[in-house]
Amino acid sequence: MLDEMQVLSRIAPDLMADIGRRAQVLSSIESMQPVGRRALAARLNLPEREVRAAAAALKEQGLITMDAAGMQLTPQAIEVLSGAHDLSRAMFGLTKLEQALERLLSVPHVVVVAGNADADPQVLREVGRAAAHRVHKLMQSGMTLAVTGGRTMSEMAQGIQSATPMNVMVVPARGGIGSSVEIQANTVAAEIARRVGGHHRSMHLPDTLDQAALQEMMKLPEVRETLDLLRRTDLVVHGIGRADVMAQRRRLPADDVEKLRTHRAVGEAFGDFFDFDGKTVLQASTVSLSLGKAYKESKMVAVAAGERKAEAIIAATRHEKHDSLITDEAAAQAIVSLLESSSP
């Protein structure tokens, strides 16, 4: 597609700009519908007149409807939506960003969503939807899926859809952190299982449980069952935290915080804090298992967005081998800038 687009851009650059804008508007309406032109223009950071012109053309082609509630797709739009997604991504450089990240991070499959989740909450929702699509593609009946918590993972769970029930077991990959029940790993696991028609198990333990307390809790059958399932997981889907933010959220002791600062920790996953090169600086928990080391056959999918997460994403992909990364444009651009500027 990229080669064909380069030819078309040389032949009719003015038409390609219009086509790309229509594809971008159509794709964005799909994720935000019903949506007004002003809200869509703000989301895409475009003049409202450009969105109005693209919407008028799409309406004329029978691909969208417009009423008081806003713009929505018609059934005819579903037939061209996949192609519109691909065209929009290629036109606005997301495909090239994905290819750059796959090369720089040694991750076979990368998806980049337009925008910056740090500045626009809607971007995080779209990252979640993209992650849901990838996870659903990897899931197979009979699998065990392990998931962490957090807002990004919660958005991913909300985006999961399955036309037919799947015999999938979903388990939390870490204990509880903080007080927001709706974004805990238990809640995320339960929501995914509900949406795919599978099963789930809970782990009602704080993520900061020490070894002695964990050994006592493992005597409980329900805790032991969940931990046993984790040891046999086929697919691990997790978020990535900044080291400074996660240290505060976990309320680490001052000595540990100083250690993270001294050793320049930048990222966290499963209780492991690691530096830019992916080396473990501190392992803060025994409940959040180091899944990458424990399960060499598991596929790992990381989901993280926002420019501020760039260093943490680099560190996490160096810390463990990943099959997939789902992120946003701002994080992707920052990652490329960091790695290309530091390469010899």
Neighbour tally for 112: CB within 10 Å? 28
pLDDT tens string 314-329: 999 999 999 999 999 9
Q: Give how far Cα 189 sits from Cα of 87, 125, 192, 232, Å.
A: 33, 18, 5, 16
Mean pLDDT in the chain?
A: 87
Asked if the model's pLDDT at residue 39 lies above 70, the reply is yes
Looking at beta carbons, which pairs linking 37-43 to residues 24 or more positions away fall under 8 Å? 37/71, 39/70, 40/71, 43/115, 43/120, 43/122
Mean per-residue pLDDT for 221-245?
86
pLDDT band at 219 (very low <50, low <70, confident <90, very high): confident
- Distance of alpha carbon 245 from alpha carbon 177, whole angstroms: 12
Asked if the model's pLDDT at residue 312 lies above 80, the reply is yes
| Helix, coil or strand: residue 125 | helix
The domain locations on the chain are 2-91, 94-342
Specify the amino acid at residue 34: P
Neighbour tally for 262: CB within 10 Å? 9
Assess contact for 291 and 316: CB atoms under 8 A: no
Instruction: Dump strand ranges (E) for 97-239.
Output: 109-113, 144-147, 169-172, 199-200, 235-239
pLDDT tens string 87-119: 888 777 888 999 999 999 999 999 999 889 999
Per-residue confidence (pLDDT) for residue 70, from 0 to 100: 94
Per-residue confidence (pLDDT) for residue 1, from 0 to 100: 53
Neighbour tally for 302: CB within 10 Å? 28
Per-residue confidence (pLDDT) for residue 289, from 0 to 100: 52
Mean per-residue pLDDT for 14-19?
79
User: Which percentage of the chain shows pLDDT scores above 90?
Assistant: 57
Start-to-end CA distance of the chain, whole Å, equals: 31
Which architecture, in CATH terms, is 94-342?
3-Layer(aba) Sandwich (3.40)
Could you tell me what percentage of the chain is helix, strand and coil, using 3-state DSSP and rounding each to the nearest 5? 55, 15, 30
Specify the range with the lowest mean pLDDT, choosing from 53-62, 218-227, 242-251.
218-227
Q: pTM for this structure?
A: 0.84
pLDDT tens string 247-294: 998 888 999 999 999 999 999 998 889 999 999 999 876 555 544 455
- Fold (CATH) for 2-91: Arc Repressor Mutant, subunit A (1.10.10)
